[in-house]
Structure 1
Amino acid sequence: MTHAGTTALLVIDAQESFRQRTQEWAQTANPRVLENIARLVDRARVLGETVAWVTHSEPGSGGVFDPAQGFVRVVSDLDPLPTEMAVTKTSVNAFTSTDLEERLRDAGVTRVVICGIRTDQCCETTARVAADLGFDVVFVTDATTTSPIEADGGLAAVSGEDIMRRTEAILAARGFATISSTERLVES
């Protein structure tokens, strides 16, 4: 079942900033994330769905998310088209600090498919906010990734894989999103 015209693929923070954190990027829980995102982008384009590219920016921070450093751009493995939506956020979710909701509503979007970097952070938060805003949300876990959280203050470390499973379970169980795989969406 397709939802052309009413669906938008939100590609969250698939940006060079993360690859600049080389040790963290080497520990990514899902090394196939960019391949799966590319498959979802190809599918959305074929179906005539909206593709929205979201990047994260921390102006003045001096770090890899500071636009002055030159890394706040979509990873070179992916190829945004000039006609596709692009927003740069300064909040964790893709809506609060951008006009994304207005642009999606203007395009007639009622369903969002979420993929990108930091399963448990920007992707999950965007999914929750999108659900609160009334969008039907599909969360494609295998087209997201995160890295482990190190132990601090006597707490146990959490693997990236465990974080991804936890995010998927909570989004589904709490009614924020329908969980899908890249394969399931591409084949539908």
Structure 2
Amino acid sequence: MTRALIVIDVQESFRAHPLWATISDPKIADQVNRLVRLARQAGDLVVWVLHTTPGTGDVFDPALGHVRLMEELERADGEPLLQKTSHNAFTTTNLQQLLTERGISELTVCGIRTEQCAETTTRLASDLGYQVTFVTDATATNPIAHRDAPAGQSVAELLADPRTLSAEEVIRRTEYALAGRFATIATVDQLEAAAERQA
């Protein structure tokens, strides 16, 4: 086993946030489950990561009860579950140590949000020497407000602002930024087809 699937922040916190109404793929858990099945069939390690911000009172504060895997996901016995407080999955966890101890050199990355925690983890993983596959259609994100937009915008105001970057644009830009530099871009269908060829 030299590969690991890193599932980043596919957690109920996002469903509890008003921006969930704008998420690029409300069924992201289904895509993640497909990747998890592939990883387990191949004997790859599956690592689950949750984002937490203790003491903030927001949806990522574990005291509110939302910092848990989406209900459609099921972690198997022995699969690590890490909690991070940084955007990437390495800085505030023992992820690198865990991967090193198990001889992992290849990573498959998926999760929420595409350009934030998933992309940041991918960039750092590449810098650390891992070969990374970024599965874009097993990530999800939201539209991003313009840097000069007023704080505290409602969802309606966000969507009405012509300066807002759509979720589709965010995903496309992430693919452009990562491809050939930090990761190989793939889809779930492509990875399933590759696994069938190898079977």
TM-score by length of 2: 0.88
The alignment partner of 2:179 has SS state of helix
- Equivalences for 1:23-62 in 2 at 5 Å? 23-62=18-57
- Equivalent runs, 1:32-181 vs 2, <5 Å: 32-153=27-148, 156-173=163-180, 175-181=181-187
Distance 2:133 2:82 in 1: 20
Distance in 1 of aligned mates of 2:6 and 2:146 = 31
Offset of residue 30 of structure 1: 2.0
Cα deviation code 1:132-188 (max 9, x no counterpart): 110000000000000001345268110001000100110014x10000001001111
User: Over residues 24-57 of structure 1, what are the superposed CA-to-partner deviations in whole Å (9 max), with x where a residue is unaligned?
Assistant: 1121112332111000001101111000000000
Q: Percent identity?
A: 47
Question: What's the CA shift string for 1:97-126, capped at 9, x where partnerless?
Answer: 000000011111100000001000000000
Matched letter for residue 183 of structure 2: A
CA RMSD, 1 decimal: 1.2
TM superposition shift of 1:86:
1.1
SS at match of 1:34: helix
Runs of 4+ residues over 2 Å off in structure 1: 150-155
What is the TM-score when the length of structure 1 is the normalising length? 0.93
Bigger mean CA offset, 122-131 vs 67-76: 67-76
2:4 partner letter: A
Aligned-partner Cα distance in 2 for 1:109–1:153? 42
| Paired position in structure 1 for 2:189 | 183
Unaligned runs of at least 5 residues, structure 2: 150-161, 195-199
Alpha-carbon separation, structure 1, partners of 2:51 and 2:148: 29
Q: Distance in 1 between matches of 2:123 and 2:147?
A: 27
Between 143-152 and 153-162, the greater mean CA deviation after superposition: 153-162
Which residue identity is paired with 1:108? G
Alignment size in residue pairs: 182
Q: Which runs of 5+ in 1 are unaligned?
A: none
